[in-house]
Amino acid sequence: MTQDKKFIGFDLGAESGRCVVSKLNENKITLHEVHRFTTHSIKYENGFHWDILAIYKEIIVGLTNAQKAFGSEFDGIGIDTWAVDYVLIDSDGRIIGYPYHYRDDRTDGMMEEAFQIVPKNKIYNKTGIQFAQFNTLFQLLSEKKRKSNLLNATDKMLLIPDFLSYLLSGKKKAEFTNATTTSLVESDTRKWSWELIDAFGLPRKIFPEIVEPGTILGALLPSIAEQTGLNKTIPVIAGASHDTASAVVSVPAIENNPEKGASWAFLSSGTWSLMGIELKQSLLSAQAMEYNFTNEGGVEKTTRFLKNIIGLWPIQECRRYWQGKSKEYSYPELASMAKENGFARSWVDLSDPRFLKAGEMPEKIIAYLKETRQTVKSDIGFIIRVALESLAFSYRNTIKEIESVSGNKIKILHAVGGGIQNELLTQLTADAIGRNVLAGPIEGTIIGNIGVQAIASGAVPDLHAWRMIVANSFELKMYEPKNSSYFDENEANYKNILR
């Protein structure tokens, strides 16, 4: 490969997004950020919403900046975002209301109501998706319960990346990796489960055609091309639009035979932590459901068998809390204070619902420690250390559960994403799981986004070839276990505080 290929990728998270131009040449890729922006949200008395048109405006700015910096010719444009949230549009493409944020409380209690209609085990056996109150299914049921006519007025429900791709291409499709997170896609057929959709009384017409990751939706709309200066022939590609699916594409694993059973696991580390393995089929056992594992869509007909873990959200919320108290700390400063504190010997159950909600996070951590009669200190370093060690214990439990359910022996953990920049957490992870952690690349999600585009355009033959390119392009760091005995000795104590 001698000729440069250029791609534009958008990676949107719960707090911020960025537009990145990637150049591919001689089996190496380079990344060039051209725009970073806030993923705008609005919280007021009647709900917590995404300001989707403000986000769309940032997309246009990103495309314009890409053109100014790298010219008008590109080989693809792709968007990845978080999962489950959606935009409702009518037959003329007009937005019906502000889309809800997955942290809005309108879905409180909706899972229990759903299980009265269709039993929990039947939903899992159909979809293989873990149960979380913010899943699209439960959001739609809340929508139906509160505004019964709204879904009837809807032409299509488009998940966030699908909606943004629609604004660029004019095509209303549902990309598979993100569609699976709705809890309404059959794991075996990779299609909508009309049986579940009918059982829950949801209108069939609102569900768009599902397409596989790497599908070329069409050329950039002429109006967008004119506005940004880009060539109107650039393909808009439905990549692995679920950010975790993109992150897994970036894992520089050399093994290329999932049928034999994965010997490596992945960890996508950020606001959320997603830990799992890549398989060629779903695992729908009663044990998988008991442990609340999810079977989400992957690239090249793979399944991401994983668990959602709350991740760095508590750290982010602690930092926001202290900012509100006029105490400004960077993430490296917080990690340094946690390191100086030493082992906490106190932990919280990060799956407790209180930690999902925004606000007052240090007070919530302290309250939990008091409720469970553990050592409590108000020091900032102590509170952050409690959160980090609790997260490492969560990783330890999850690795053991993966091995138990799948029968695979995990030899190494590949960690990607911004969370690996917290070197204390990455070392604690290696200590907790008792295995080497190969950290990198940091920009895992956008790299995977670009990778699916490169495969779709024919610039790279397949997923394995892309992972070799990733390994050849970025610095990776190996973390070996140093203090596993701490987690071995305290595992029983940790489990005693779990609810």
d(CA 414, CA 369): 31
Three-state SS across 135-152? CHHHHHHHHHHHCCCCHH
Location of structure tokens 């739609």: 140
Which of the following is catalytic: 11, 80, 162, 243?
243
User: Are 140 and 155 spatial neighbours (Cβ–Cβ below 8 Å)?
Assistant: no
**DSSP assignment letter at 134:** T
> What is the three-class DSSP state of 496?
helix
CA distance 245 to 361: 29
Per the annotation, the verdict on 104 as an active-site residue is no
DSSP string of 214-245?
A: TEEEEEPPHHHHHHHT--TTPEEEE---BHHH
413 sits in which H/E element = strand 412-416
360: CB partners within 8 A, 6+ apart: 321
Rg (CA), the chain: 22
Contact between residue 32 and residue 21 where contact means Cβ atoms under 8 Å apart: yes
Label residue 116 exposed, middle or buried (CB < 10 Å: 0-12, 13-18, 19+): exposed
Contact 79, 165 (CB under 8 A): yes
CB 32 within 8 A of CB 23: yes
Beta carbons within 10 angstroms of residue 301's beta carbon: 13
Question: In which region does residue 132 sit, left (phi positive, over 0), alpha (psi from -120 to 50) or beta (all else)?
Answer: beta
Residue 486 backbone class (left: φ over 0; alpha: ψ -120 to 50; beta: rest): alpha
> How is residue 99 annotated by DSSP?
P
Residue 318: closest CA among 229, 379, 389 = 379
Cα separation, 203 vs 198, in Å, equals 8
Neighbours of 5 (CB within 10 A): 20
Residues annotated as catalytic are 243
